[in-house]
Chain A
Amino acid sequence: MAEERRQKLCSVILPTESMKAMAESVGVGSLQEESCLALSEEVSYRIKEIAQDALKFMHHGKRRKLTTGDIDHALKLKNVEPLYGFQSQEFIPFRFASGGGRELHFYEEKEVDLSDIINTPLPRVPLDVSLKVPKEQQKTDSTEPLKAVKPGQEEEGSIQTKGQGANSAEVKGKEKMRMKPRSTHELSVEQQLYYKEITEACVGSCEAKRAEALQSIATDPGLYQMLPRFSTFISEGVRVNVVQNNLALLIYLMRMVKALMDNPTLYLEKYLHELIPAVVTCIVSKQLCLRPDVDNHWALRDFAARLMAQSCKTFSTTTNNIQSRITKTFTKSLLDDKTQWTTRYGCIAGLAELGHDVIKTLIIPRLSVEGARIKAVMDGPVVSNIDKIGADHVQSLLLKHCACVVAKTRPLPDMVDQYKADYGYLGTMLCSHVVKARAQAAFQAQTVNRTTLTITQPRPTLSMSQSGLSASSGSRTPSIIKVPSSLTLMSTRPGTPTQPSPPATKYIVMATSAGAASTQQVITLSSSQSGSSVTSTVPSTPTSLQPLVKLESGTTGAVSGPRPLQKYIVVSLPSSSSSLENKGSGVIPSSTSPISMESAVKLERSESPAANTQSPH
């Protein structure tokens, strides 16, 4: 036992040089070697004795550190006069000196000018001892019996500091032993500045700044301290802007939520209680904009619904039951007859995003009822324009989501009559959609189940965020292809013609293959309005939504060739020059470029299958 301690137990004695030096300091010039030895042994022994006694005082003082006071008390025990005036700012105040073949440790004693001491202002009086007790303790002598609660269930009582105020650092000491109060941490000045900049950029007018800010939120690893503030910012922002029907700001805030979710270093679960209400508000609110007939608040609902679905996927557990609670909420208002079209749309979108199973069990059975309701609006007497638009949107939403589900579940012969019988008013349209969906599925099967990375014309605000969505699906798993913020996947609805064409964005595709030197291609992606595909477009139908890509570099062949080992890094260059913008708008798609992009994605996919989870809508 205790072999390792054996070394510790050897008795250490002071070097005789120290004895000599001490003797010299008190004026004894020549000390014989033997006397030095005898002295050092004796002194070492006494020092040990005193240290052992001092330890006793430390134990009784209930401390872990030996203080000079303990030594003083130990000396007093031995009837030795204590050392006076020993104090030190440092833990080990000894200096080392060598010279003349001697090595010494000494204590630096500075000469002190008394007048200096007298003239210096008095130091601040240390705070007095105070006792901190939980407030509920104050009523111990009330007659009602104290509840015996298990420590874990103790309610967090407000904390009262008795006596003099204690400074904040010390107040931080725990109160309830197990309860860890959710603490908001102090932010450094830099963090405060950052927070201010980011929040201003996110809701400001400059789109470029916003993109940068969102990018920062989505990638910066050190934001956890600001997370509570961001979370409050968003929830408060939504609360205020819903009332004011400020659609733009709501969109910005949702994009912030998106960015926060994308950040792999942030874990939002603790803040879901603030974020989820905000997101749900954006999905189902009756009115989100000032002019419901003109503004495209539908896109916001779609987007928020997707956020909701994502957070359900990420955070729903058996204990918090987020998904089932959310589903219940949506279903309840969907079943309500009085629900307005806007809210209805939101509910359906929210449910649809939760996956095919939800669509199958909750939406498809409702198709006939909803169809009847839509028919009533469409075919009925002239009602308000707003209702009509709403019904129209709900209809296309239902068709869009249900078509692919029906296509998968229903046996093949797609008879219009049959559909009509099953789904009522919507049956006819659904049938055609299903046919299209089947065709598309067949097409996809042909093209070796490639993932379509369809790039459609992005709307300036929302499409950006949607792109974020796709990026996030990538960033959940370590993906090599990073779809930049302005590369958009699938806008559900084509933009209104009034929207200016977005700036073309440059992409650099870094291809690194084993052995070969990395090649670099700059691809400029831009998209133009495809005017024909307005309402009837089934998303991700390749014909209607061809991305317009121009490869500036000519080395296409290198990219398109199937090289399983190649990695592509796509980096976006924000378009700063207007020339690019102009150029982009008029570009004709080249036939090779989509393939090259697709192949890139495919390659990526083969390496990490989960990387590209954006499935066709």
Chain B
Amino acid sequence: MAAVQDGPMELDAEKEAKPEILSDGTSNLSGNTASGTLSSSPLTAAPAGGAPKMEDQQTLIAVLQFLKRNKLSESVEILRREAGLGEHQEGSQATDGSGGGKGDGDGGDANSLLSRVSITSAAAPQSMPVKSDCIINIFRCDLPFMFMLSEDQPDVSVVLSAYSQQGDPPLYQVYYSGLKNFIESVLDCHRAELSQLFYPLFVHMYLELVYNNHETEAKAFFDKFSGDQECYYQDDLHILCGLTKKEHLKGNEVLLDFRTSRFVLHISRDSYQLLKRHLQERHNNQIWNIIQEHLYIDIFDGMPRSKSQIDSMSGSLAGEAKREVNKAKVFYGLLKEPEIEVPLDDEDDEAENEEGKPKKKKTKKDSLGSKSKKQDPNAPQQNRIPLPELKDSDKLDKIMYMKESTKRIRLGPENLPSICFYTFLNAFQGLTAVDFTDDSSLLAGGFADSTVRVWSVTPKKLRKVKSAGELNVIEKESDDVLERIMDEKTASESKILHGHSGPVYGVSFSPDRNYLLSSSEDGTVRLWSLQTFTCLVGYKGHNYPVWDTHFSPFGYYFVSGGHDRVARLWATDHYQPLRIFAGHLADVTCTRFHPNSNYVATGSTDRTVRLWDVLNANCVRILTGHKGPIHSLAFSPNGKFLASGSTDGRVLLWDIGHGLMIGELKGHTDTIYALKFSRDGEILASGSMDNTVRLWDSMKAFDEVETDDFTATTGHIHLPDNSQELLLGMYHSKSTPVTHLHFTRRNLLLAAGAYNSQ
């Protein structure tokens, strides 16, 4: 590969390249092999041969093929665009080369060269020397990407070394303001798009100044231009303004995030051309270098986007998501419901209601039959993820669920749910997490004093199972053995679970109500038994605070996310994680399972929501648009949509299948800590720190967008600003922030929060 690049170069250039390879220090050996290949290559041996143009093209084709083999499709595209090569050209050339063994005498070697190149490059992708024009640019694009793949936490020095080249420090301001003047002078339609460059350029230029010890210049630069940045970057700017010394750069996470991930911008081709021309005219290499090295510009064809379109999607720590990231297919459909024959004995219950019976039967057939007969085309394979077998008790519960759902109230804009608020008293600001069981019979609260408390919210009290000795005495064949094993003496309305050594930040019930998960500042996730009210397992893996945990809707699996910026998938019977979902650039603040259990959504402080495939731990969606850390997530019951709420008080709605934002619900004035869809998905309830519960018309929000054309390649959508129309109700509490929301099976909305006496 190195050979290919160096092909058209002079020999001194090759010599220059060598020390660079060595200085990389990662793999001397492969570097040498590379250069060995290089010298033996017939391509380089032909010094400025008869048809240099043709040769160039050959080189390009070889590179393209290599890239294709390595699935670096973006680079292929860019390269092809840059070189002005058509697909057909490449194809014909390739067949010519391999089949013909003809003409120039190089064609036959192209293949052998390619094979060699691929070997070496596979061995040492880092060893690529980086130099010169368009091809190199492309490789630069991919380089850090490979770094990321190879090492999760890149070495700081490697990362920072990119800053070593520097221009004249006082000129930075000139460069920046030059670009600013240019962007301000271009046509309106391009200005909005090019304005996206300001923030990443500003940050990188500032960091470059800091890295090179130009402290005063850095400060002046910051003071001069920080005010120009979009207001949603304020949080990051606050952190940046603290960074004034080279020493600070080491170990600063935000900086690392900025360095390891390339800031992604979506820019239309026209705007990009405009920018490129300008920079080339001005010979503004400093900025051009930064754009090449630290930014990823995703160029699309079509109309430039408007300011509001850009604003709705930007805001994340690392820019927008690359388009191809969200191209993967997501099976968002629901799994087939298991066939459960409704036992006959339930007619006893309903016997008194003669009219109710046939009705019930019918509805059951409708809801069940349609689901089970017609497999949802978007649903994953039933066994894509192995799911636990249904136990008898689960089946009973399913039957209960069906019975309840026939009595469900149909909600809508005309028929809002009643809200019942569970207020925690005397919590002294210590309530950090709440969860309800699906059947709304139990309530768990996590507290800052490291305890987890479980309440029964039905008259049925919580009882422990008897001790082993007592259990021995029980006659096991008796009908009421399940009743007998419970110890009446321990009956109480609430139980306290001690075990954590730090504030509990997340709690989650298992669907069968036998277990409870809690995640804590102490870095562990604990599994508690709700039969014995003791801790069963402590899952250690996150070494830092675990912010959230959530049980799979089918039990057995659960997911946790924490300060270590990864989310982990666990199974209750494994003490080590089964999957690690890595990619977030900052803390993973909330985790939710998809209703079909095949995907996990995580929200993060880096202001993105990611969707991960449980099967292979791939990130299948990156959703950007939030302007603050995300603290709540909710899947719609049909699995098609996702709602996310953040500290900026906005709820964003996402279409999972297309990976697009489809709605923005504005209204809350503080962090949204709770989101929940009603059982049928008609209503979205959001609860916030601002002491309100708001109800939104989610059906309307989804319907309005669904009519639009998603297939447009640009994927840019115009968000209607209709929050006020969608807001169905707003309910204030006196002084109780809403920590959790839950719809009962009959669509009564339960809310929970701690009364705040201050």
- Interface residues of chain A, those whose CB is within 8 Å of chain B, are 1-3, 5-6, 9-11, 41-42, 44-45, 48-49, 52, 56-57, 59-65, 69, 73, 77, 126-134, 136-138, 140-141, 143, 145-151, 154, 161-163, 166, 169-178
Contacts and interface: CB of A to CB of B under 8 A. Distances in A.
Nearest to A150: B416
A6 B229 CA distance: 10
A560 B66 CA distance: 115
Given A3-B227, A174-B421, A178-B731, A59 B671 contact: yes
B242 A11 contact: yes
Contact of A77 (B227, B563, B737): B563
13 contacts: A6-B223, A11-B219, A45-B244, A60-B503, A60-B589, A65-B429, A128-B426, A132-B755, A137-B422, A140-B441, A141-B439, A173-B735, A176-B421
Contact of A64 (B439, B494, B629, B689): B689
A131 B421 contact: no
A48 B736 CA distance: 30
Contacts of B445: 129, 131
Contacts of A178: 731-732
A169 B757 contact: yes
A253 to B, nearest CB: 36
Given A6-B226, A170-B425, A170-B426, A146 B241 contact: no
Nearest to A78: B251
B673 A146 contact: no
Given A11-B242, A60-B547, A138-B459, A177 B732 contact: yes
A76 B757 CA distance: 29
Given A146-B746, A163-B493, A151 B736 contact: no
Nearest to B736: A173
B432 interface: yes
B245 A129 contact: no
A62 B458 contact: no
Interface string B730-743: 01111111010000
B427 A129 contact: yes
B631 A131 contact: no
Contacts of A154: 418
A162 B431 CA distance: 17
A59 B494 contact: no
A173 B458 contact: no
Given A127-B426, A131-B425, A133-B420, 19 more contacts: A5-B227, A9-B226, A9-B241, A45-B244, A59-B671, A62-B737, A129-B425, A129-B430, A131-B455, A131-B494, A133-B457, A137-B750, A148-B747, A150-B416, A151-B416, A151-B418, A151-B729, A173-B423, A177-B732
Contacts of A150: 415-416, 418
B426 A9 contact: no
A148 to B, nearest CB: 4
A134 B736 contact: no
B411 interface: yes
Interface stretch (B230-238, B337-345, B709-717): B230-238
Given A62-B739, A137-B457, A140-B744, A166 B422 contact: no
Contact of A129 (B228, B453, B671): B453
The 10 closest A-B pairs by CB, nearest first: A177-B731, A148-B409, A173-B755, A174-B734, A6-B227, A145-B407, A166-B425, A127-B426, A48-B242, A132-B423
A145 B750 CA distance: 16
Contacts of B431: 62, 129
A161 B425 contact: yes
B521 A73 contact: yes
B230 A146 contact: no
B684 to A, nearest CB: 16
A162 B419 contact: no
B135 interface: no
A3 to B, nearest CB: 6
B693 interface: yes
Contacts of A48: 239, 242
B757 A170 contact: yes
A9 to B, nearest CB: 5
B423 to A, nearest CB: 4
A148 B411 contact: yes
Interface in B15-53: none
Nearest to A69: B448
Given A146-B748, A177-B732, A2 B432 contact: no
A137 B739 CA distance: 19
Given A10-B241, A45-B248, A177-B733, A148 B415 contact: yes
Contact of A173 (B227, B429, B734, B739): B734
B647 interface: yes
B426 A126 contact: yes
Nearest to A1: B231
B409 A146 contact: yes
B440 interface: yes
A185 to B, nearest CB: 15
Contacts of A126: 426, 428
B244 A11 contact: yes
A617 to B, nearest CB: 51
B605 interface: yes
Contacts of A59: 629, 631, 647, 671
Contacts of B629: 59
Given A137-B420, A175-B423, A56 B458 contact: no
A174 B245 contact: no
B505 interface: yes
A173 B424 CA distance: 10
Contacts of B726: none
Nearest to B739: A62
A393 B494 CA distance: 72
B152 to A, nearest CB: 19
A145 B242 contact: no
Nearest to B587: A56
A389 to B, nearest CB: 58
A73 B502 contact: yes
Contacts of A61: 429, 432, 448, 503, 505
A174 to B, nearest CB: 4
A440 B407 CA distance: 76
A73 to B, nearest CB: 6
B458 A141 contact: yes
A140 B416 contact: no
Interface in B214-267: 219, 222-223, 226-231, 234, 237-239, 241-245, 247-248, 252
Of the candidates B238, B349, B440, B629, the one having the most CB atoms from chain A within 10 angstroms of its own CB is B238
Contacts of B505: 60-61
Given A69-B448, A162-B493, A45 B243 contact: yes
A2 B227 contact: yes
A81 to B, nearest CB: 15
B545 interface: yes
A273 to B, nearest CB: 25
A62 B432 contact: yes
A11 B241 contact: yes
B242 A129 contact: no
B94 interface: no
A175 B421 contact: yes
A129 B426 contact: yes
A166 to B, nearest CB: 4
A11 B210 CA distance: 14
B425 A171 contact: yes
B417 interface: yes
B61 interface: no
A578 B478 CA distance: 98
A138 to B, nearest CB: 6
Contacts of B631: 59
B558 interface: no
B556 interface: no
Contacts of B528: none
B447 interface: yes
Contacts of A5: 227, 231, 234
B531 to A, nearest CB: 20
A132 B629 CA distance: 31
A460 B238 CA distance: 78
